[in-house]
């Protein structure tokens, strides 16, 4: 008796069910065969304008970002399974976050998301491979911030969500406070339907940006974005951006905080890896100024804050203390004004000027 070969519809449904079982909040599937012509052209324009700043890795493997169907990602790829994981928590829960945690972007207050997101994506990829047969084996490659692809463009093609004016993927009902990942596979699945952009005339995200980092809707000049400044940029900060840093120790959520799609989104209702690490309850910004680089490294551990390096954390803490105008930090700021790192020196000396007359 011949076995029944599952239809593309059945296979697609199994993938959706498995993704939900793994805890992903949204799933979409894109056709991997057609390259990203329009989105790739926008990416090239972004690079040519120098908006990527010192993030040289964004300019590497340019052609690889044109298509996932090839040697850079996966030969013979037919589908891109796109997933979203929410990290937005309730306002009531966030209100009880320690002061230091509130100066950290929401996605980074807990554990490093790469670890658990990759584990779940690997499980999804393993499941997809089981959908093949001996005669027609299936390949699947999980991706989570570790390959040269245009993630948001694939998410939009998959119908996972639409791209908002701040360049982030917005999933109706879930908002934009999401982590996204992919499984690229040779399995031929049914593609989702792209969602039309729904921002309308709203410009709240653009208006809320502390540094006016959006030259126009849907285009971000990363060099001005506080997430870039406080995480990616090393050393000194452009003088015209310093006042805008305020109490942003690591990252910035301002353009998302004001978005109506996030205001109406149902937040996470469990305490998990996105809840603040216990360590953030034990220290404040002034405490950070008094730690050695080794102690800062131990404090941030495997959290996302390791991305900005101990000197980056120290520099940013100086800016935060200066914005808070906390006179208790005067002496330690004076000492840091002679620090070996130019960025720390600049931040400490700026912070001291904020305490004059207090």
> How confident is the prediction along the chain (358 residues), in pLDDT tens digits per residue?
456 678 999 999 999 999 999 999 999 999 999 999 999 999 999 999 999 999 999 999 998 899 999 999 999 999 999 999 999 998 889 999 999 999 999 999 998 988 899 999 999 999 999 999 988 999 999 999 889 999 999 999 999 999 999 999 999 999 999 999 999 999 999 999 999 999 999 999 999 999 999 999 999 999 999 999 999 999 999 999 999 999 999 999 999 999 999 999 987 765 678 999 999 999 999 999 999 999 999 999 989 999 999 999 999 999 999 999 999 999 999 999 999 999 999 999 999 999 986 6
Exposed / middle / buried, residue 116 (Cβ in 10 Å: 0-12, 13-18, 19+): middle
Please tell me the distance from the alpha carbon of residue 254 to that of residue 188, in angstroms, as a whole number.
39
Q: Which residues are catalytic?
A: 145
- 3-class secondary structure, 74: strand
pLDDT at 19: 98
HSE-CB at 79 with a 13 A cutoff on CA atoms is 25
Please tell me the distance from the alpha carbon of residue 293 to that of residue 270, in angstroms, as a whole number.
34
pLDDT at 272: 77
Please tell me the distance from the alpha carbon of residue 322 to that of residue 313, in angstroms, as a whole number.
14
Class of the CATH domain delimited by 8-185: alpha beta
87-92-97 Cα angle (round to 5): 70
pLDDT at 266: 81
pLDDT at 4: 66
User: Which tokens is 209 given?
Assistant: 């940006």
Residues 6+ away with beta carbon under 8 Å from 57: none
Please tell me the distance from the alpha carbon of residue 210 to that of residue 224, in angstroms, as a whole number.
9
pTM of the full structure: 0.94
């Amino acid at each position: 008796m011949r076995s029944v070969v599952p239809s593309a519809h059945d296979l697609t449904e199994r993938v959706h069910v498995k993704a939900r079982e793994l805890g992903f909040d949204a799933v979409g599937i894109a056709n991997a065969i057609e390259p990203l012509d329009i989105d790739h052209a926008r990416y090239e324009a972004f690079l040519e304008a120098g908006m990527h700043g010192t993030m040289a890795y964004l300019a590497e493997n340019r052609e690889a970002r044109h298509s996932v169907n090839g040697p850079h990602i996966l030969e013979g790829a037919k589908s891109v399974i796109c997933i979203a994981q929410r990290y937005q928590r309730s306002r009531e829960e966030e209100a009880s976050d320690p002061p230091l945690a509130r100066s950290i972007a929401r996605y980074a207050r807990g554990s490093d998301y790469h670890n658990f997101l990759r584990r779940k994506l690997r499980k999804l990829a393993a499941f997809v491979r089981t959908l093949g047969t001996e005669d027609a084996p299936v390949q699947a490659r999980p991706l989570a911030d570790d390959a040269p692809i245009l993630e948001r463009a694939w998410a939009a093609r998959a119908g996972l969500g639409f791209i908002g004016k701040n360049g982030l993927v917005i999933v109706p009902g879930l908002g934009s406070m999401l982590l996204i990942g992919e499984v690229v596979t040779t399995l031929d699945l049914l593609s989702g339907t792209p969602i039309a952009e729904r921002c309308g005339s709203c410009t709240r995200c653009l208006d809320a940006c502390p540094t006016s980092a959006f030259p126009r809707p849907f285009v971000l000049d990363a060099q001005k974005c506080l997430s870039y400044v406080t995480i990616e940029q090393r050393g000194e900060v452009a003088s015209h951006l310093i006042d805008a840093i305020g109490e942003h120790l690591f990252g910035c959520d301002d353009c998302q905080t004001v978005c109506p799609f996030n205001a109406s989104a149902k937040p996470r209702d469990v305490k998990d890896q996105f809840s603040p690490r216990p360590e953030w309850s034990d220290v404040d910004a002034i405490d950070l100024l008094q730690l050695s680089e080794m102690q800062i490294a131990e404090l941030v551990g495997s959290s996302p804050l390791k991305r900005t390096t101990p000197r980056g954390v120290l520099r940013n803490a100086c800016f935060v203390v200066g914005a808070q105008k906390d006179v208790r930090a005067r002496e330690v700021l004076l000492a840091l004004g002679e620090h070996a790192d130019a960025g720390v020196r600049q931040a400490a000396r700026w912070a001291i000027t904020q305490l004059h007359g207090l």
